[in-house]
Amino acid sequence: MKAILLIALLAVAATASSVDAYNSMWEAWKVQHKKNYRATEEAMRFGIFIENVKKINRLNAENTDVKFAINKFADLTAYEFKSQQASCGFVEKNRNFIAKHTAPVKSVGALPDAVDWRNKGAVTPVKDQGQCGSCWTFSTTGVLEGFYFINNGKLLSFSEQQIVDCDTDQDEGCNGGWPYLAIQYSAQNGLEQESDYPYTAEDGDCKYNKNKAVKVAGGYQFVTANSTDSLKAALVNGPVSVAIEADQDVFQFYSKGVISTGCGAELDHAVLAVGYQKVGVLEAFIVKNSWGNSWGQDGYVYISTINKLNKNQGACGILAQPVIPTA
């Protein structure tokens, strides 16, 4: 009911600028997201909220294939959103390094029309990284959870916190890191399950217990970059860790539909591709995010499979650096 009320009030605000309409939306939003502010901060956050509502209305007027809505990030400026949610320190690795560690994926023959590993039991529920730049660990556990399921027939939820706390030679916990390095760490140490090493959304001391760790993969390889067909072929074999640019309005307020514009390829966020399918008339990669299930489509976002975008790096750079575990 609260979500329906907010949608209804958003429609009112699209045609009216009355303080009462915005106040009603604001009060409903605060209740829905359990927000409380000091008196000195309330007016500032309300002002940001109003500007974001106006921005959402403009985005919806300008786009037909993707929709935007008020969500839990509606009281954040664009800078705050980028700092809190899209600051995983994830930037493009040296192309020569990637080429050296790229190998053809296992042959799949003709590509199927659609793949969705959620339907096959290989994907855990959507998780929430909170205000910790640990997206890279969620992308890592997601791809390893899928890999383990495919090879062992059992779905386990692996510990992001273990990676945050213990994989510190080159990665930096809440300040960012690389999925391929985390996959390599897991190959050397194994991973504990979430239930044994729960997530805290902050850096901590390593409490790794090798007796509880599960051997998952032997290493990693990059999937051929800048190729829709290569990423789709990899997805036929299992979920894939991918990097995207997620610091733009299209991600802050994404609700449903297919993103094809509005973000470039300045990679700053790691997520998990779990398949591809038609969404209406558009084909899209199915991408699991780590911002909780209240964001987007139950925690997921659909990103266009069009190859030519961003100089063949794909929508939001999704084709630039796919990586998968190896046995």
At 173-193, the pLDDT tens digits run 999 999 999 999 999 999 999
Nearest Cα residue to 301 out of 316, 283, 288, 319: 288
Q: Are residues 8 and 156 in the same domain?
A: no
Catalytic pick among 88, 289, 310, 316: 289
269 flagged as catalytic: yes
CATH number at residue 91: 3.90.70.10
Higher-confidence position of 108 and 69: 69
Whole-number pLDDT of residue 14: 47
Is residue 1's pLDDT more than 50?
no
- Domain-located, residue 263: yes
Q: Are residues 247 and 313 in the same domain?
A: yes
Amino acid 68 reads F
Q: For residues 48-53, give the mean pLDDT.
A: 97
Structural domain containing residue 39: 2-68
* Range of 4-18, 38-52, 95-109 with top mean pLDDT: 38-52
Q: Left, alpha or beta for 282 (phi > 0: left; psi -120 to 50: alpha)?
A: beta
Is residue 13's pLDDT more than 60?
no
Q: For residues 157-181, give the mean pLDDT.
A: 96
Q: Are residues 207 and 275 in the same domain?
A: yes
Whole-number pLDDT of residue 5: 44
Nearest Cα residue to 184 out of 136, 245, 128, 227: 136
Nearest Cα residue to 221 out of 144, 139, 326: 326
33 flagged as catalytic: no
In the block, which residue shows the tokens 């995010």?
289
Q: Are residues 289 and 252 in the same domain?
A: yes
Confidence of residue 108 (pLDDT cuts 50, 70, 90): confident
Q: For residues 37-65, give the mean pLDDT.
A: 95
- Asked whether 320 and 313 are in contact (CB, 8 A), the reply is yes
Q: What is the mean pLDDT of the chain?
A: 93
Domain stop point among 68, 97, 114: 68
Whole-number pLDDT of residue 8: 47
Q: For residues 127-143, give the mean pLDDT.
A: 97
Confidence of residue 90 (pLDDT cuts 50, 70, 90): low
135 flagged as catalytic: yes
- Domain-located, residue 164: yes
Nearest Cα residue to 263 out of 186, 315, 203: 315
- Domain-located, residue 78: no
How many CB atoms within 10 Å of residue 293? 14
Backbone angles phi, psi at 317, to 5 degrees: 80, 20
- Percent of the chain with pLDDT strictly greater than 70: 93
Is residue 245's pLDDT more than 70?
yes
- Percent of the chain with pLDDT strictly greater than 90: 86
Residues 6+ positions from 43 with CB-CB distance below 8 Å? none
Q: Helix crossing, 2-15 with 39-62: angle to 10°?
A: 70
- Domain-located, residue 82: no
Give burial (CB, 10 Å; 0-12/13-18/19+) of 73: buried
* Range of 3-7, 94-98, 287-291 with top mean pLDDT: 287-291
Q: Are residues 17 and 135 in the same domain?
A: no
Q: Are residues 146 and 292 in the same domain?
A: yes
Confidence of residue 93 (pLDDT cuts 50, 70, 90): low
Whole-number pLDDT of residue 104: 87
Q: Are residues 51 and 91 in the same domain?
A: no
Residues 6+ positions from 83 with CB-CB distance below 8 Å? none
* Euclidean distance between CA atoms 145 and 139, whole angstroms: 10
* Euclidean distance between CA atoms 190 and 39, whole angstroms: 48
Catalytic pick among 52, 71, 237, 269: 269
Question: Got the DSSP string for 148-198?
Answer: HHHHHS----B-HHHHHHH--SS--GGG---HHHHHHHHHHH-B-BTTTS-
Catalytic pick among 71, 88, 132, 135: 135
Q: Are residues 113 and 260 in the same domain?
A: yes
The kind and range of the H/E element at 311 are helix 309-312
Q: Are residues 6 and 150 in the same domain?
A: no
**How many domains, in total, are found in the chain?**
2
Q: For residues 231-245, give the mean pLDDT.
A: 97
Q: Are residues 52 and 93 in the same domain?
A: no
